Every structure is written in C-alpha cells, then in structure tokens.
Copies of this chain bind each other. A is one copy, B any other.
Amino acid sequence: MIRESSSTTQVKNRHRELGLSDQDVLNMYTQMLKARRVDERLWLLNRAGKIPFVVSCQGQEAAQVGAAFALNQKKDYVAPYYRDFGFVFAWGMTVKELMLNNFAKAEDPNSGGRQMPGHFGYRKLRMLSHSSPVTTQNPHAVGIALAAKLKGDDVVSFVTFGEGSSNQGDFHEAANFASVFKLPVIFLCENNHYAISVSLKRQLACAHVSDRATGYGMPGKTFDGNDPLAAYAAVKEAADRAHRGEGPTLLEADGYRLMPHTSDDNDLSYRTKKEVEDAKKRDGVLTFADYLRAIGILDEVTEEKLEEQIRKEIDEATDYAEHAPFATADTVFRYVYEDKD
C-alpha cells in the first residue's frame, strides 16, 4: 500500500481533481513503465536475432495509458493500433501475451502468430482485430458504436491511429459517419510527428489534427501526449459526452516517436539525433515519474520494487514465449471460412 499524498507537497496535485486516487496514478505509471520496459526488451531481442521485427511504442505510453484508464474496461470496445503497448497492457493484455505476439507463437491471443507483432485483437477484451493497412479500423469502431446504439447498449467505442493515417479517406468517412449519427465514438490520434520518414508538415497543412473536428461538427481537442493525466481528462470528457448521447469526439495526443519507425527503419536518414534528444526531455515516462516523486507517491524503494517486478515479469514472459510452440503447418488452412464441422 502507498500512503495518500500529503497536502503539503510543493507540486499541485493534478490527479485528485480528476477523481483519481494515488493508487490509480501509481497503477498508471506501472503500465507506462511496463510498456516502456517491454519495448526496450523487444529491441534487445531483435538485435540478438531472436525476433525479426519490432514496432515500438516509446514516447506514446503516457497518452495510451491515460486513455485506457478513462474508459470502462468492462464494457467499452477498443481498436488500438500497432504502437499501443501502453493501452493494451492497461486494458488487460499480459506481458506474456504480448511476448507470445512478438514471438508469433500459437498461443498469441491476438492472431496465433498469423499477423505481424502489434496487430492487436482480443475478443475477450472487446479489442477489435487490427490489420496492416492503416486507418481501416476507424470505420470499424464506428460500426461498433452504431451496433451498440441500435441494440441500446451503453458502450463507448474507442479507436487510435497516427497523424499520417488521418490523411486516409477512411478517417474522413468514419468521422463524418459517426457524427451524422451522433455515435459514441472516441477517435484518438496519436500524433508522434512522423509517418515513417515524413514529418508532420508534409502530412497536414493544419496546425492540429484536432482542427479537423470542425469539419465533422464534433468537438476536437489536442492534449499533451506526454501527460497521462491530460489524456485521462480528455478521454473521460469524450466518454461522458458519448454516454450522454452527444456523439463522437476527435482527440489528439501531441507526442513524439522516440525510436525509429520499426526495426527496419533508419530514422537518422530523415531526422537529427538532437531532435530526438530534445524530445526525450519531455518523455512522459520520465516526467510522470517526476510528478509522482514530487507529489510523494513514488520513492526510491517503490521504484526499485516496480522495476524489479516488471523485469521479472518480462523475463518470465520472454522465456515462456521463446519456448512456446509455433502453430503447426497444417493450421495454415484453417479459418478462411467458418468451420462447419
């Protein structure tokens, strides 16, 4: 147990006014840290030749975790995209499951090793199946919301995507559809300022992705992607609107991609080391830890315990996943259509 933070702290307590307890924010931090450490491990595994491919979440954990905490984890439907490690952990996927996904083993709940890593999908958790062509998930999330509305279910449908992807026609058509029918959808754009090598300015000519909301007659809001509390507040407000039947919201987490696009990318061919170093100073995992420390929720002991616990979990998960079996060759023919027998 951790003690409730004292009111004498120098730093303003920002989470209490959001209705979050100290334990809540520590849990948030735990998920963020877990995502970060898993990601770091994946790069090591890749360099060691143990997994062929990494797609990275680093720099986006804060927004992801803050968003997940603001939703109803028992009822809402979610369509996270390939960088959403923080989100899927906070949503209930285990480290072991994510490792199985990265090792592409049969037990991977996302696709049994059929899809590339990060292509999430977990029926039990009401997490839609994600594919590679970007932005196709947006209309799906709208369809979930439409169906829920038709059935009278009080469900929020949450979807994420990158800022480059917000240029796809499917973004536009989905947003418009959701708004015309006032559907309970939250569109969260994780703006990490790059779509592979192409920087924000070459992707969009507006100042913020959230500026696009006007064109759909829905509210749009940009928040600091390094601040999980800002994410929490924004998503909570959007969810409240959705529950009240007021329709969709377009949110934008203003963040940065700290690592190359994937393990196949060389990011220094299109951005400078300095730019990345500068962004690291704003890294949400660090700044949120600072906040928790300043407010007295995180101390060295807790931190060490946390790191230790996460390390152990990752070790075990990696070990398990590495030795778990692949799906057998004969299964390649299964599930094209419903198995009627």
**Chain B residue with minimal CB distance to A209?**
B215
- Whether A260 sits at the interface, judged by CB under 8 Å, is no
Chain B residues in 8 Å Cβ range of A217: 204-207, 211
Task: Check if A173 is an interface residue, CB within 8 A of chain B.
Answer: yes
* A218 to B213 CA separation, bound complex (whole angstroms): 15
Among listed A59-67, A151-159, A162-170, interface-contacting one: A162-170
Which residues of B are found within 8 Å of A169, using beta-carbon distances? 168-170, 172-173
A172 is contacted by which of B171, B179, B207 (Cβ under 8 Å)?
Answer: B171
Contact A206 B202 (CB under 8 A): no
Residues from chain B with Cβ under 8 Å of A202 in the complex: 180
Q: Nearest CB to that of A173 among chain B residues? A: B169
Query: What is the CA–CA distance of A2 and B179 in the complex, to the nearest angstrom?
Result: 52
A168 to B247, CA, bound (A): 21
A6 at the interface (CB under 8 A from B): no
Within 8 A of B (CB), among A194-238: 201-207, 211-218
Most buried by B among A207, A215, A217, A247: A215
Encode contact with B along A58-98: 1 for CB under 8 Å, 0 otherwise: 00000000000000000000000000000000000000000
For the A-B complex with A182-B205, A206-B216 known, give 6 more contacts whose Cβ atoms are closer than 8 Å: A169-B172, A171-B172, A179-B206, A180-B205, A214-B214, A215-B215
What are 24 A-B pairs with beta-carbon distances under 8 A? A167-B172, A168-B169, A168-B173, A169-B170, A169-B173, A171-B172, A172-B173, A179-B205, A180-B201, A180-B203, A182-B205, A204-B216, A204-B217, A205-B216, A205-B217, A205-B247, A206-B214, A206-B215, A207-B217, A211-B214, A211-B217, A212-B214, A214-B214, A215-B215
